[in-house]
Amino acid sequence: MTRLACIALCTLCFLGCNEQNTALPGTGQWRIINYWAIWCVPCREEIPELNAVNRDTELTVFAVNYDGQSGEALRAQADELGITFALLEQDPGPGFGIERPRVLPTTLLVSPDGEVTDTLVGPQTRETLVAVWHQRADMRVDMNVSCAR
């Protein structure tokens, strides 16, 4: 009986310790995760570029507040910066094995199958983000063609 209780307890601890709600919406499509903060001047300059990427391309952009703001405080800061793309209240980085960025802004490119293909540090433009995305998407197409032969 003691052994069964120990096994049950270990199973619960194992399942509970590994459980993280870090799912990133949009599985099956290319996504961008952008880390920003209200006090980050380069972040403020980058936001219009990210709004354009989200609006004008097939990329879906998600914002993660570096300071961990949530609820009304998060929405107020996002409004102040003019963020029009989706806000995430929980950082999905740990689910990808990504540590909290040390430099802002930091942008992650995530493939349709959930792989972080690039970590871009510093402010990005619409052109740089689209160029990296196309390069990675073309590489994946080339790899699929090579494997099919």
25 within a domain of the structure (yes/no) = no
DSSP 27: T
Q: Which two tokens stand for residue 38?
A: 């209200």
120 within a domain of the structure (yes/no) = yes
Domain that holds residue 95: 30-148
Q: How far from chain centre, in Å, is Cα 72?
A: 21
More confident call, 141 vs 80 = 80
Q: How confident is the model at residue 14 (pLDDT cuts 50, 70, 90)?
A: very low
21 within a domain of the structure (yes/no) = no
pLDDT in tens, 64-94: 999 999 999 999 999 999 999 999 999 999 9
125 within a domain of the structure (yes/no) = yes
Q: Please give the Cα distance from 74 to 141 (Å, whole number).
A: 38
19 within a domain of the structure (yes/no) = no
pLDDT in tens, 100-115: 999 999 999 999 999 9
Strands (E), 39-110: 60-65, 86-88, 106-110
- CATH number of the domain residue 90 falls in: 3.40.30.10
- Tell me, what's the pLDDT at 1? 52
78 within a domain of the structure (yes/no) = yes
- Tell me, what's the pLDDT at 39? 98
20 within a domain of the structure (yes/no) = no
Q: Domain count of the chain?
A: 1
18 within a domain of the structure (yes/no) = no
- Tell me, what's the pLDDT at 15? 39
pLDDT in tens, 23-65: 799 999 999 999 999 999 999 999 999 999 999 999 999 999 9
